[in-house]
Amino acid sequence: MADNTTKLIRNPIVVVLGHVDHGKTSLLDAIRNTSVQTGEPGGITQNIYLSNVEWKNETITFVDTPGHEVFSLMRINGGKVADIAFLIVAADEGVKPQTLESIDIIQSNHMKFIVVITKCDKEGANPEKIKTELVTRGVYLEGYGGDVPFVEVSAITKQGIDSLLDLVLLYADVENLLTEDQERVKLINTFGESSEKVKVHGVVLDSSVDKAMGRQAFCVLRMGSLKKGDSLLFGPKVERVGLLFDANKKPITEVTPGMAFIVTGLSELPMTGVDIVDTESEEVKNIIEKQYSLPVVGQEQEEKSTQDLIDDLFADEHEVIIPIILKTDVNASLFSILPTFEKFNTDKVMIKVISSGVGALSMSDVETAKTFNALLIGFRVKANNEVIEFAKQQGVKLSTFDIVYHLYDLIQEYTKKAQDGGEIQEVVLGTGRVKKVFVLSDGEVVAGTVITDGEARRSALARVLREGEIIGDYPIQSLKILKEEKNVVKKGSECGINLGKGIALQEEDTITFVVKKSE
């Protein structure tokens, strides 16, 4: 060990990365002598699990991350806090998509890591094939042209478990990973020259709303210590620390460096991945405020009116809109799932999230879903019997899921139904009366119209009615007030609506403006 470094008295932090179902949680269960894996829906990890494990009078903090593709945000945040990564590869399957993503996270964070080849007890296990695959991916193992250590293990037989834990402690010591100098290097990337003024540093891995405890955050402390009542910055927000619990949810009075912990009593839900620092330095506070200028989930914001939400819902020009309200158990799940809805969009169909948040499904959620005829979805949260019954009375489709790809199955079902012309509901945005008909030189027909109710919207369909009978539905080519193009024209205003060529339009015809969305 170098003589000019100051040793941090703390345990090493290990993040477990790899592809879904490659045995990450089963390995940690074997290390902890627990059974988290058996309690996981579908047998896959879908949240970050924190553990403090005792080994030979030392403590190792483990951060287990989900392997499913949707949870890449959780893996990135897990990689941010760790000293060492376990790159998990199943001996019977080999390198997979999330294995490659995990390698990218390790390399981008310049992390020290150990390759852990799991399921070596299974029929068809071929560790040598795995080593060759990793070399072709730029991971050069010891004895294979590089210096990356590896261990072959089995969570069932406990093969290699002791050796792996010994290697973690040895690796952390030999590579000087637990020194304050190393920690300062990490802080420089965030705080620059002001990093020397940081006395306490941790990272929020996840946050949620607990029925008994309220807002809580799952964190790892890398430097310094904290106690109940301390004032700290959680991202841009100054919070006073409430009750503290260790990774096993046992009450504690103090958090020391390297510990995984749960903090309660927060006024807001911190975003996943934000830094926790002390409030002593104004320079550090200013840097934090500039970095985290986005609103935090749970932060009080100016509420939109129902009309504003309707405007947002139908502002897009997709033919069919599928409105969704999503509630999740934790912040990381919310931020991981929301962006993935885009992959279900087509030229015709669009998923539109009306509302989202962390916590149980509520009566208010049902009322909002009723207003917008939206799908009400809960991920790893439940609705009580009162909410379920209210949803039935209101005709609201309420679905809850513990496995993310089952949630996607529902979205896929509705998207396909809409794409194939299944059950579609029309929403009338407004009505207008045709005062004058203009035929342009190229044959296009423009309806000089006064909006008598609601609004006309450029993205809507114009339905022409004459004495109550539908003449036809026409896409709006342009919507203008005088010569100015408009997206929306409100009640009481006059406008010109270009309906295209060959339209048999007459004065005093009625135009209703409709949009279609999935039932």
Domain ranges of the chain: 13-178, 181-291, 306-422, 425-518
Contacts of 409 (CB under 8 A, 6+ apart): none
Taking the C-alpha atoms of residue 369 and residue 388, their distance in angstroms, rounded to an integer, is 13
Q: Does 349 have pLDDT greater than 90?
A: no
CB of 346 closer than 8 Å to CB of 370:
no
Q: Does 345 have pLDDT greater than 50?
A: yes
What separation, in Å, do the N-terminal and C-terminal C-alpha atoms of the chain show? 66
Closest CA to 194 of 257, 287, 110: 287
Contacts of 216 (CB under 8 A, 6+ apart): 207, 208, 209, 210, 262, 263, 264, 266
Side-chain half-sphere exposure of 459, counting CA atoms within 13 A:
17
The dihedrals phi and psi of 342, each to the nearest 5 degrees, come to -60, -30
Strand order from edge to edge, sheet including 150-152: 49-55, 58-64, 13-18, 84-90, 112-118, 150-152
CATH no. of 306-422? 3.40.50.10050
If you average pLDDT over every residue of the chain, what do you get?
A: 80
Q: Residue 206 corresponds to which amino acid?
A: D
Q: Is 304 helix (H, G, I), strand (E, B) or coil?
A: coil
Domains 306-422 and 425-518 share a fold: no
Q: List the structure tokens of 422.
A: 């299944």
Ranges of beta strands (E only) in 100-230 are: 112-118, 150-152, 201-210, 214-223, 226-227
Q: Is 340 helix (H, G, I), strand (E, B) or coil?
A: helix
pLDDT at residue number 8: 43
pLDDT per position as a tens digit, 75-127 = 455 556 788 889 999 898 888 887 888 888 788 777 889 999 999 998 888 99
Q: Is 50 helix (H, G, I), strand (E, B) or coil?
A: strand
pLDDT band at residue 319 using 50, 70 and 90 as cut-offs: low
| Cα dihedral 62, 67, 73, 74 in deg (nearest 10) | -30
What single-letter DSSP state applies at residue 441? Answer: T
In the block, tokens 């703390």 appear at: 10
Q: Give Dmax over CA atoms of the chain in angstroms.
A: 93
425-518 is a CATH 2.40.30.10 domain: yes
Q: Does 434 have pLDDT greater than 70?
A: yes
pLDDT band at residue 493 using 50, 70 and 90 as cut-offs: very high
pLDDT at residue number 78: 54
Mean per-residue pLDDT, 202-208: 85
pLDDT at residue number 318: 61
Q: Is 233 helix (H, G, I), strand (E, B) or coil?
A: strand
- CATH superfamily ID and name for 181-291: Translation factors (2.40.30.10)
pLDDT at residue number 178: 82
pLDDT band at residue 69 using 50, 70 and 90 as cut-offs: very low
Q: Is 6 helix (H, G, I), strand (E, B) or coil?
A: coil
Contacts of 241 (CB under 8 A, 6+ apart): 226, 227, 228, 229, 230, 231, 232, 263, 265
- CA 481 to chain CA centroid, nearest Å: 42
13-178 is a CATH 3.40.50.300 domain: yes
